[in-house]
Structure formats: structure tokens, C-alpha cells
């Protein structure tokens, strides 16, 4: 993977550089480190970038430094548009409520506009050893699985594949008995969801990734966040979540809500980033 790491000298981007460098040592063919000069942090940002570059080069990873002046989110997007990356790694302040509405969210801006998958580092420091991948039937999930499996294999991480079933039949051909079924039951029955889960598990197995499937029942956002918390996962992986019966205009809002609600790193996968 070609990876872009980003810093503006702030503590939250320092955490992103640290974890991003750990990912890059295992998964990157080359790395660009972007320094975004903001206010009075240019010196700190440059020092962080140079230290990260030196550490990566010592392990044999080629690194190039870039510098831009402006607002963090906007400059990261410009850099990602100028150079084709497989993965962009950024930090998040974790702003909520009125503060986020007034000042905006760097993470939302980058994930919404960068033409690459984006790893948003937030929450406490952790190794990425246990992935939770949200999956819904359709080609978008296959792209998400394929991208995430490459990263999981490189990091020697295990994967839990999560599918959320509505408690109400949203599709005309929905089978009532399936609404309360477990992943194992759905797979054994050969239901639409079971066939999908089996297919996704096969894709993960092909990458030699240890994986299992879990089904939860309820509202998609609530169940994804609950599973991430209860299972103590290190990374939440999401693509575009499409639930049968939902207006497609809600998809982007749901992805943004997942990113904002999670208290741990989130990988937002763009389908076109899968080779």
C-alpha cells in the first residue's frame, strides 16, 4: 500500500503518526508524510514528520516529506487528490456537539472528500489486533472486506464480521424467522444474509485471515457501536452501509454517524481503492 501520514504538530496527530507508522512498517510499500503548517505549530509538525520518516526509513520503508499551508482537512484532501494513495491516516480530536458544528470535523471532511480509504485515529493508544468489520449484503461490502483483509493479514489481526438485522421486515421478500436468527443459523439455512456472510468469510479465509461472523438485531448504528464496545475491538471498519428499505440518501449520514460515535480508530473504506 502507498500510505499518507498527516500531522499539524498537535497531540492528536502525534498519536496518528505513531499508530500510522506502526501500520506502515507492516503494510506500506512507500509512505508520504504531510506536514500542514497551522498557526504556531509548524516547528513541532516538522519535527514529528522528520522523526517518523527517520524511523520508517530505518526499517526499509521509502518515505517522502511534503508540506502545505492551510487548514488541516482541506490540505490533506488536496494532497490525496494530487497523489494516488491506498490509505490516508489522520488523527481526530473527537469533537462533539456544538463545538464540532461550529469548527467542523477534520475527519468528516477528509473521509467525505479524499479519493482514498481513510484510517481515523481516535481514542486511547492501542495495537490494531482485533478488527470489527460492518457488512451489509452487496458489492460495497465485498470491496470493504477485500481492502480490510489485506490490512488484517499484514498486521496479523483477527476479524469479526458484523451484520445487523433489522427487527422489522424492511424488504418485501424478508423471511420472518431470519429476523431473530444467529449468524450460524442464517448460514445453515442458506438465507440471503447467510449466503452473504459465508461469501465474506470465504474472502477473508482466502487471505488467511482468522475470522468469524456475528449477527445483531436492532438499529444499525446502535448495534455496531455496542458490538465494538462490548467486544473491545481495536479497529472498526466500515464502508457504505446500505440496509434494504432505507433511502440511499441516508447512507452517507450513517457512515458519518458511525465515525462520530466510535471511541476507537475507524477505517472508512472507499470501494474504488481496492485493486
Residue in 259, 213, 253, 217 with CA at minimum distance from that of residue 235: 259
Say what percent of the chain tops pLDDT 70. 82
User: What is the rounded distance in angstroms from the CA atom of residue 55 to the CA atom of residue 60?
Assistant: 9
Predicted pLDDT at 140: 63
The DSSP H or E segment spanning 164 is strand 158-165
**CATH fold group of domain 2-121:** Rossmann fold (3.40.50)
**pLDDT above 50: residue 103:** no
Looking at residue 167, what is its pLDDT? 58
Buried b (16+ CB within 10 A) or exposed e, 207-230: bebebebbbbeeebbebbbebbee
Lookup: cell for 123: 481514542
Q: How far apart are CA 41 and CA 222, in angstroms?
A: 38
Predicted confidence at residue 47, as pLDDT, reads 93
Question: pLDDT by residue (tens digit) across 226-264?
Answer: 999 999 999 999 984 444 444 444 445 677 888 888 989
Average pLDDT, the chain: 84
pLDDT at 137: 63
Cβ(260)–Cβ(252) below 8 Å: no
% the chain with pLDDT above 90: 55
User: For 107-121, 187-201, 231-245, which range has the lowest pLDDT when averaged over its residues?
Assistant: 231-245
| Least trusted range by pLDDT, from 90-94, 158-162, 264-268 | 90-94
Nearest residue to 120 via CA among 233, 272, 5 = 5
Does residue 201 surpass a pLDDT of 90?
Answer: yes
CA dihedral 128, 131, 133, 139 (to 10 degrees): 70
* Cα separation, 90 vs 110, whole angstroms: 9
SS3 call for 234: coil
What are the structural domain ranges in the chain? 2-121, 130-268
pLDDT for 274 beyond 50? no
What's the pTM? 0.87
How many other C-beta atoms are found inside a 10 Å radius of the C-beta of residue 244?
Answer: 15
Q: What pLDDT is recorded for position 244?
A: 43
Q: What is the pLDDT of residue 176?
A: 52
Band the pLDDT of 150: cuts 50, 70, 90. Answer: very high
pLDDT in the model for residue 174: 52
Under 8 Å between Cβ of 189 and 260: no
| Topology agreement, domain 2-121 and domain 130-268 | yes
Residue of 245, 198, 238 lying closest to 221 (CA atoms): 238
Cell of 259: 465515525
DSSP, residue by residue, 250-275: HHHHHHHHHHHH-SS-EEE--GGG--
CATH topology of domain 130-268: Rossmann fold (3.40.50)
Amino acid at each position: 500500500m502507498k500510505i499518507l501520514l498527516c500531522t499539524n504538530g498537535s497531540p492528536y496527530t502525534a498519536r496518528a503518526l505513531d499508530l500510522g507508522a506502526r501500520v506502515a512498517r507492516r503494510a506500506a510499500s512507500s509512505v508520504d508524510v504531510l506536514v500542514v503548517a497551522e498557526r504556531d505549530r509548524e516547528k513541532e509538525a516538522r519535527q514529528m514528520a522528520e522523526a517518523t520518516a527517520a524511523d520508517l526509513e530505518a526499517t526499509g520503508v521509502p518515505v517522502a516529506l511534503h508540506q502545505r499551508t492551510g487548514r488541516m482537512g482541506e490540505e490533506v484532501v488536496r494532497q490525496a487528490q494530487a497523489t494516488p494513495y491506498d490509505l490516508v491516516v489522520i488523527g481526530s480530536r473527537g469533537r462533539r456537539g456544538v463545538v464540532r458544528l461550529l469548527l467542523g470535523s477534520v475527519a468528516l471532511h477528509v473521509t467525505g472528500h479524499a479519493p482514498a480509504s481513510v484510517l481515523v485515529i481516535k481514542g486511547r493508544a492501542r495495537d490494531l489486533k482485533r478488527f470489527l468489520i460492518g457488512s451489509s449484503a452487496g458489492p460495497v461490502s465485498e470491496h470493504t472486506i477485500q481492502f480490510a483483509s489485506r490490512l488484517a493479514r499484514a498486521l496479523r489481526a483477527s476479524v469479526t464480521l458484523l451484520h445487523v438485522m433489522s427487527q422489522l421486515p424492511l424488504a418485501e421478500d424478508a423471511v420472518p424467522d431470519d429476523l431473530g436468527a444467529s449468524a450460524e443459523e442464517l448460514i445453515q439455512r442458506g438465507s440471503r444474509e447467510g449466503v452473504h456472510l459465508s461469501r465474506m468469510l470465504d474472502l477473508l479465509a482466502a487471505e488467511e485471515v482468522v475470522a468469524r461472523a456475528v449477527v445483531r438485531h436492532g438499529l444499525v448504528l446502535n448495534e455496531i457501536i455496542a458490538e465494538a464496545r462490548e467486544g473491545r475491538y481495536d479497529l472498526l471498519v466500515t464502508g457504505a452501509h446500505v440496509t434494504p428499505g432505507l433511502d440511499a440518501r441516508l447512507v452517507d449520514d450513517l457512515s458519518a454517524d458511525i465515525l462520530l460515535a466510535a471511541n476507537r480508530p475507524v477505517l472508512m473504506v472507499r470501494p474504488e481503492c481496492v485493486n
